[in-house]
C-alpha cells in the first residue's frame, strides 16, 4: 500500500484495503477451502459436523494474509478442541501432508487449484459451518494516474486465469 501511495509501483495484487487514495478491483477468488486426500471419507459424507472435523488430524497453514481465528472459531463455538497435528508456515508442506494422507486442512483456493483439477486433493463443502471469502484485488492510485499501458492485458490475463480449468467449487466432491 505504501509503495502505491509513494508511486513506487503502479499496481499491486493484494487483499482489499480501504484508503481514499487507492482504488480496488476485485479480480480473483482465493477463498479458504477444506481439502482432503483422495479417498477420504469426507468426499462422500455430506455436511460433516464440527465434532467430526475435530476428530480428524488437521494441518494449520499459518499465513499472514488470512485470519486463522475464523477457523478456530468454528471449533470454539461448538466447544470442541480440533486435533491439530501439524502447524506449518509453508504452503507446499501443508499440501504434501494432506496429499500423503496424513491429515486434512483449510487452504487458499488459488494455491490448491491445480491439485483440485488433477484430483490429488479434493474439496469438502463445509459452507454450512464456515464461509471464508478472501479475494485478491488489483489496486492502484485513485487519482492522478491513468491506467497503466498494460492495464487491459493484465485484466484479460486475470480473466483467462480465472476461467481456465476453473472447476465449480464442489466439482471435485461429487
Q: Indicate the average pLDDT of the chain.
A: 82
Clarify whether residues 77 and 25 are in a common domain. Answer: no
Asked if residues 161 and 30 have their Cβ atoms less than 8 Å apart, the reply is no
In this prediction, residue 172 carries a pLDDT of 33
Mean pLDDT to the nearest integer, 59-68: 70
Q: How far is CA 75 from CA 18, 109, 114, 162, in A?
A: 30, 21, 29, 32
Specify if 173 maps to a domain: no
Specify if 169 maps to a domain: no
Residue 147, pLDDT above cutoff 90: no
Clarify whether residues 70 and 147 are in a common domain. Answer: no
Specify if 90 maps to a domain: yes
Q: What angle do the packed helices 109-118 and 91-99 form, to 10 degrees?
A: 30
pTM of the model: 0.72
Clarify whether residues 105 and 67 are in a common domain. Answer: yes
Half-sphere exposure of 149 (CA within 13 A, CB side): 0
Asked if residues 35 and 105 have their Cβ atoms less than 8 Å apart, the reply is yes
Read off the CATH number of the domain in which 53 is found: 3.40.190.10
Q: What residues make up the domain containing 25?
A: 2-29+135-163
- Which is higher by pLDDT, 149 or 139? 139
Clarify whether residues 43 and 86 are in a common domain. Answer: yes
Cα gap 144→10, rounded to integer Å? 11
Clarify whether residues 19 and 40 are in a common domain. Answer: no
Specify if 115 maps to a domain: yes
Q: How many domains does the chain have?
A: 2
List, for residues 42-53, the tens digit of each pLDDT value. 998 888 999 999
Asked if residues 47 and 125 have their Cβ atoms less than 8 Å apart, the reply is yes
Clarify whether residues 19 and 51 are in a common domain. Answer: no
Amino acid at each position: 500500500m505504501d509503495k502505491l501511495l509513494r508511486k513506487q509501483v503502479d499496481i499491486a495484487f493484494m487483499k482489499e484495503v480501504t484508503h481514499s487514495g487507492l482504488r480496488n478491483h476485485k479480480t480473483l477468488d482465493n477463498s479458504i477451502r477444506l481439502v482432503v486426500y483422495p479417498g477420504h471419507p469426507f468426499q462422500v459424507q455430506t455436511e460433516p459436523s464440527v465434532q467430526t472435523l475435530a476428530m480428524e488430524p488437521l494441518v494449520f497453514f499459518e499465513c499472514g494474509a488470512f485470519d486463522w481465528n475464523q477457523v478456530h472459531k468454528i471449533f470454539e463455538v461448538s466447544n470442541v478442541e480440533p486435533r491439530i497435528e501439524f502447524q506449518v508456515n509453508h504452503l507446499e508442506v501443508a499440501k504434501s501432508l494432506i496429499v500423503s494422507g496424513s491429515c486434512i486442512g483449510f487452504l487458499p483456493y488459488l494455491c490448491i487449484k491445480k491439485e483440485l483439477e488433477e484430483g490429488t486433493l479434493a474439496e469438502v463443502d463445509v459452507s454450512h459451518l464456515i464461509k471464508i471469502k478472501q479475494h485478491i484485488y488489483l489496486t492502484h492510485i485513485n487519482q492522478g494516474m491513468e491506467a497503466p499501458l498494460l492495464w487491459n492485458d493484465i485484466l484479460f490475463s486475470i480473466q483467462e486465469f480465472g476461467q481456465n480449468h476453473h472447476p465449480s467449487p464442489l466439482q471435485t466432491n461429487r
